[in-house]
Structure 1
């Protein structure tokens, strides 16, 4: 029975009680027991005016994209009594959520369908915004905490989540760059290494990203199974310990241990930050998380090169070990924000069910293989072999993203997993080599300034990357007020901006003027921030975590591809001077730009396929039920399809 139907259509002399179904606009149905012996006693159903303007074949997912359980009347995969609420669409000023225990604002009663007498929906309190079948929010004061105190607690919790996002994500990204090549000479002299031992030092410095890949899937499951605050504290303390060990290293194994600890700590803390952000159920805070992640991946390498510049490209650091932990203060600030989140803990997400934990562990084996290959390929592998490994890993990532996008537990309506792969693939692997080339060009011009009269200041190259980071945050915040259809377009628009950035970069000499870098970097940052934030709309925490487990493997794949292409150009040219070496690296980077543009187009196609497949089922079901209601109205009785609950 539809909320627009008249209960009087049922025969009044039927001696049996009927179980009819209440249709939701997204094609799902909820069974409602209605005694129909005396139809005069039944109140007339009120139409749901909020969704009358939507086309009947367009699914409207008000709370979740999962089918409804016939036993509990709740979304499948949820425990009985759990409330499923979407992220609020409040603006940035609405970061502070309502106090714990206080219900949300009541909707217009004239817009809510009136449940028939005797139905289970009649037990819900008036004005409750909880979905059908959920326990609903508690009454004011039910938790025993006064409203003012609860409001203060919510303020501290939201502030802590915001500060954690703005500090933890940059601290994690700053652990990724490997600038050991810039301090090889002082490191060799301090450690007493021969020239043959320098490759081992470079490999030890590059262990952070493989360790992070190993830790993220396991930490995602731990953050959903146990307290995310405890997982966060463990990760940040391990990250700080790794930074301290690297800054005090006296041998190559100590450097390797410190870098591995940094990677493990970053990988443990990363999913915990996302879970704490999702606990706030605030769309603006989720957008800030997405924009900060994209911004941090863009500025990580420029900031690392600022701390340890190329020889002759600026003032050398006082200690060569700064290259293995350049900014420990950012990680310390993240730890302080984590303690604020622990103190001001207010609401928690329900623990993940076994099916979700199993799906989150799905990328663990492939990503561990990627991490292993990322280390092994540095031992004498040819650039061609590295390129083949990177291509195979990219195909595997696309397969995982497509498989996860179709899943009911870790899938998302707007292809979050695919957009996470795009973000990882063209953020750090594109901005990092660009920063290195620009820094090297500035150092060479500064070294030859006495002859040419042209000087270069490597610090100027921070400005375009900072502008790109700001564009990523603004692009992400621009999606807060978007509707579902507009957000779908924003995902495609973000990919389009990334493709434009690649094309502009191909037409730009990244080794000339630093201000020219604004042309490709600003659209790159804005596109990635917009696409990532828009894809997280209506995505559950499981879908966001699954996408996160694929994002940093994409970073590793991108690094493997660009470095192999640059190494291949160096082997082909065999440069004898610094200028020739810079030309070879630039040529390899331009080939990578072409490959990145092609891969972005492929990712757009995959994203469209995943989102179309998720929409196809609900739309077909909605059209079928619409035809059934039309036939039932023409015949003057209830169609048979209206009596069968459907799982969508």
Structure 2
């Protein structure tokens, strides 16, 4: 029996229809794994490590102030980039953000003044601030988001934990201070190539056209845009606060101001979110993770450097790698758990972060690297599980709003930790007359005090989320997604189904 030939054109179309989504998923996954750590590693201010290499006549204080502009620029960019990525989609924003990073890296080799360093660090911050929300939207748009979203959350948790170490590793035995401005130029080029490939595949697959065809459905509402833009207000406030504290503010004033900023972010998360209690808990989770993970890991990394009696950076790579793998694995598992358990997993992840902070107090300082696996795994995996589980309770809009609060919380955590550290070091200087061991003990005491404070704040976030969830659950006006509640129809006396009364959603 003769078999009619299959038209080649149809076969090509069918193959492309099958392969294009899979290839796009792979490219998005690789891009997330590379670009997200690149964005987070732009945060640490490492110029003090190579201060001895600065040219004569350059003020170290002014250079540190200029180098520290990346995080304020980043947290101001994230909410605005969140609005842009919802309107124009992720692919072009990813290319634009990585292009800025690549340009800043390339120009970093020619930096010769404090003003140019300030400009380049602002570009780093803006580029990084575009990447974080763009990668989140990119993975949430894919059909295999159930796998890609855990990858995103796991990489964010691992990047927050290891950002300080990743920023310090390229500075080992360098002969130029400009390395701080271009720590991973090759990796930036790889990420830019992946972003360009993603943009081309996105356009060739027709998803760009289909996105525009349903823009009226997928485009964010004016309320969502307004709330995302509103998140720039606390970002601007904490950015101004951070710059102001570099002018010798008293440590007590720094701590009080940062604490007020944290309260303001939690208040905005409580009243400014949408999608009901799920969106609110997602915002709280972002604030908690941002506040404690990177600031705590940064202090712990400095304490574990070789000059202070720790194993040094070479002794820390194994705990960081194990923590990153654990974060990815835990996030993937959390993404497979039934959604009914997502709220419990969110709280469970935050509890793991609290236990990790307690382990920091017990384990650090540690002259050997392996015991540090315990607190590092708890911090990275706990934050990843909390983020991916909370995301399942809400949606992309709430996730972007929470992300807009995450990086102001990171900066607030740095300010709180620095305020505590300066206070302890001043006390050690007064009591021990500059004894080196007393200063080391001051660093350690400051880390332990900050871990205690951070643990209490995370516990407070858990309690706050539970109170709001109970309040929402006891109200008949709201559902978990913020949608109208329609009671089940009840039989009429004649045995027919009666009409239902529609309740108005909570505003």
TM-score by structure 2 length?
Answer: 0.88
Give the match for residue 590 of structure 1.
448
CA distance in 1 between counterparts of 2:336 and 2:327 reads 17
Q: Give deviations 1:126-150, integer Å, cap 9, x for gaps.
A: xxxxxxxxxxxxxxxxx99933211
CA distance in 2 between counterparts of 1:492 and 1:249 reads 46
Is 1:474 aligned to residue 326 of structure 2? no
Alignment of 1:215-364 (within 5 A): 215-281=77-143, 282-309=145-172, 316-345=173-202, 346=205, 347=207, 348=211, 350-364=218-232
Give the match for residue 3 of structure 2.
none
Give the match for residue 18 of structure 2.
151
| 2:413 alignment partner, one of 558, 564, 581 | 558
Check the 8 A contact 1:215/1:264 in 2, yes or no: yes
Give the match for residue 7 of structure 2.
none
- Bigger fraction of residues in helix: 2
CA distance in 1 between counterparts of 2:422 and 2:456 reads 21
Check the 8 A contact 1:177/1:304 in 2, yes or no: yes
CA distance in 1 between counterparts of 2:313 and 2:91 reads 39
TM-score by structure 1 length?
Answer: 0.70
Over aligned residues, Cα RMSD in angstroms?
2.4
CA distance in 1 between counterparts of 2:53 and 2:246 reads 22
How far did 1:637 drift?
4.1
Check the 8 A contact 1:404/1:417 in 2, yes or no: no
CA distance in 1 between counterparts of 2:265 and 2:485 reads 34
CA distance in 1 between counterparts of 2:281 and 2:323 reads 24
Q: 5+ unaligned residues in a row in structure 2: which ranges? A: 1-9
Q: Give deviations 1:246-285, integer Å, cap 9, x for gaps.
A: 3321111111111111001111222122111111142111
| 1:193 alignment partner, one of 41, 45, 57 | 57
Q: Give deviations 1:54-104, integer Å, cap 9, x for gaps.
A: xxxxxxxxxxxxxxxxxxxxxxxxxxxxxxxxxxxxxxxxxxxxxxxxxxx
Check the 8 A contact 1:243/1:259 in 2, yes or no: no
Alignment of 1:384-423 (within 5 A): 384-405=252-273, 407-408=274-275, 412=278, 415-423=281-289
Is 1:368 aligned to residue 231 of structure 2? no
| 2:304 alignment partner, one of 435, 438, 460 | 438
Check the 8 A contact 1:417/1:547 in 2, yes or no: yes
Is 1:527 aligned to residue 382 of structure 2? yes
CA distance in 2 between counterparts of 1:209 and 1:411 reads 29
CA distance in 2 between counterparts of 1:219 and 1:402 reads 22
In structure 2, relative to structure 1, the CA distance for the partners of 1:576 and 1:166 (3 Å cut) is: same
Give the match for residue 358 of structure 2.
503
How far did 1:500 drift?
1.1
Instruction: Give SS of 2:304's match.
Output: helix
CA distance in 1 between counterparts of 2:318 and 2:229 reads 40
How many residues align? The count is 477
Q: Give deviations 1:302-356, integer Å, cap 9, x for gaps.
A: 12222224xxxxxx21322112331122222211111121111143472222222
Q: 5+ unaligned residues in a row in structure 1: which ranges? A: 1-142, 310-315, 447-455
Give the match for residue 47 of structure 2.
180
CA distance in 1 between counterparts of 2:290 and 2:478 reads 34
CA distance in 1 between counterparts of 2:475 and 2:185 reads 49
Q: Give deviations 1:551-597, integer Å, cap 9, x for gaps.
A: 11110010000011001111111152432221111111111011001
| 1:213 alignment partner, one of 52, 61, 75 | 75
